[in-house]
Amino acid sequence: MTHTDLPLDLLREYAPDLPVPDDLDDFWRRTLEESRAAGGEVRIEPVAQPITELVVEDLTFPGFAGEPVKAWITRPPGDEPRATVVEYLGYSGGRGLPGERLAWAAAGYVHVLMDTRGQGSGWGSGGDTPDPHGSGPAVAGYMTRGISSPDTYYYRRLFTDAVRVLDAVVDLPFVDAARIVVTGVSQGGGTAIAAAALSPHARAVLPDVPFLCDFPRSITRTPEAPFTEITRYLAVHKDAAAEVLRTLSYFDGAVLARRITVPALFSVGLMDEVVLPGSVFAAFNALSASDAHIEVYGFNGHEGGGFRHWHRQVEWLRARF
């Protein structure tokens, strides 16, 4: 592999002039208000699983349009309020089996792993949350589902789920509402950016090699999927480029990041062919947060810093929380 984008000194200055819809704030306010008004039940249930030293629970919460979304809660025993890490998943993955991800809870945090609606069959151990919405013509995958309008686009529903899970956990007795962190890798990182931009409950954000940023450049320069799903769509729907780019502007992490004021720790791999480094820096450089840092992995691709970076995340969080 080789470096896939601009030299690092130019990446640190890269700040594209991206289109911002005039009604961006109104769109997201309306979306979240409608989903909150739809109601729905928050349920926490015990689950049969082999872990004995940590508590593992099955969370169901109302997401987009009040539709039920699943998550795992993994935490140390007891109801002492703890710093809480809400994690979103990478592209085509699901929440898997109970107890698969223990690191955050073993480090003393409440860990909430949100399932990804409609996904969960590309890797890992599966998912449990359907996406009961159809779409118009689309390329295989999720990137072009409903892409003709921001109202019907798939990521409207996923990003709403990401905010609503924070609404669901903030009042739990074992969650310290002042120390809720959002994180994720790739698609999960892009979703974490959206959650931190749209929810007052996120007090820090840790996007790891985040996807879904700087759409105009990413769909024309990224050599690997999933951005290429959009390229393939536009190769067929030749007159739809303006419509598609307008839709994507409501979900671009490099646009939403301007609304983030909480502490942020990003990561980027300079040999990444799935998420170009420039798209990560476009979001990072757009932050309004005064406490922001990006870990650069010069010889890594989309795997980024791996478990070593998780060590860095824990160290960084403990210094602040």
Phi (first) and psi of residue 271, to 5 degrees = -105, 20
| Beta bridge mates, 184 | 88, 207
Q: Which helix (H) or strand (E) holds 74?
A: strand 68-75
Work out whether strand 82-88 and strand 292-297 pair parallel, antiparallel, or are unpaired.
unpaired
Q: Are 215 and 248 in contact (CB under 8 A)?
A: yes
CA gap 167, 111 in Å, rounded: 15
* Helix (H), strand (E) counts: the chain: 11, 9
Q: Where are the alpha helices (DSSP H) in 38-153?
A: 103-106
Exposure string of 149-163, with b = 16+ CB inside 10 Å and e = fewer, is: ebebbbbbbbbbbbb
Active centre residues (catalytic): 186, 272, 302
